[in-house]
Amino acid sequence: MTNIILLILFSAITIFIFRISPFFLKENKHLNNKEGFIYKSISYSAQAMIGIIVFNSAFSGKNILELIDDFSLKTIVILLLLLGTFIMTILTKKIIPSFIITLALYSLILYYFPM
């Protein structure tokens, strides 16, 4: 299995566990505390996994040293688009529209300015 498939499987299993665990532990006082660490961790787990998958896909699984060695205009554009997606997601509190807008923008950039 390739690394991306393992990452997707790990993400899916982790998201599933974090999403169903509150149903089994609904009477737990730590999970009902909305300001607590456990509640916040469960709330942000799906977004973190999506972020990891997107970052890994955007840079073809390169680590930070390979990214620095292959640094180019395309890397800058990808980083700026990822930052823009992050900011849009924070402001709108919607993940999917942010990714669709950024993907369309990236497609237009690649179409008009091939790198």
- Predicted pLDDT of residue 25: 67
42/89 same-domain check: no
Provide the whole-model pTM. 0.57
Question: What number is the average pLDDT over the span 89-104?
Answer: 87
SS3 36: coil
Selection from 59, 40, 60 nearest residue 48 by Cα: 40
Question: Among candidates 58, 57, 53, 43, which has minimal Cα distance to 93?
Answer: 43
Q: Are 18 and 42 in contact (CB under 8 A)?
A: yes
**Are 50 and 82 within 8 A, CB to CB?**
no
Tens digit of pLDDT for each residue in 32-80?
677 777 677 767 776 777 777 777 878 887 888 888 888 888 888 888 9
Pick 3 or 78 by higher pLDDT.
78
Pick from 10, 33, 58: which residue ends a domain?
Answer: 58
Rounded to the nearest 10 degrees, the angle between the axes of helix 3-24 and helix 37-58 is 160
Residue 60: predicted pLDDT: 80
Q: What average pLDDT does this structure show over 96-102?
A: 87
Q: What is the structure's pLDDT at 1?
A: 63
| Residue range of the domain that includes 105 | 62-115
- The C-alpha atoms of residue 78 and residue 34 are separated, in whole angstroms, by 35
Are 4 and 53 members of one domain? yes
Based on the domain organization, do 49 and 89 belong to the same domain? no
- Closest to 58 (Cα-Cα) out of 9, 106, 5, 113: 106
The per-residue pLDDT for 30 is: 66
Q: What would the two tokens of residue 75 be?
A: 């890397």
Q: In the chain, how many domains are there?
A: 2
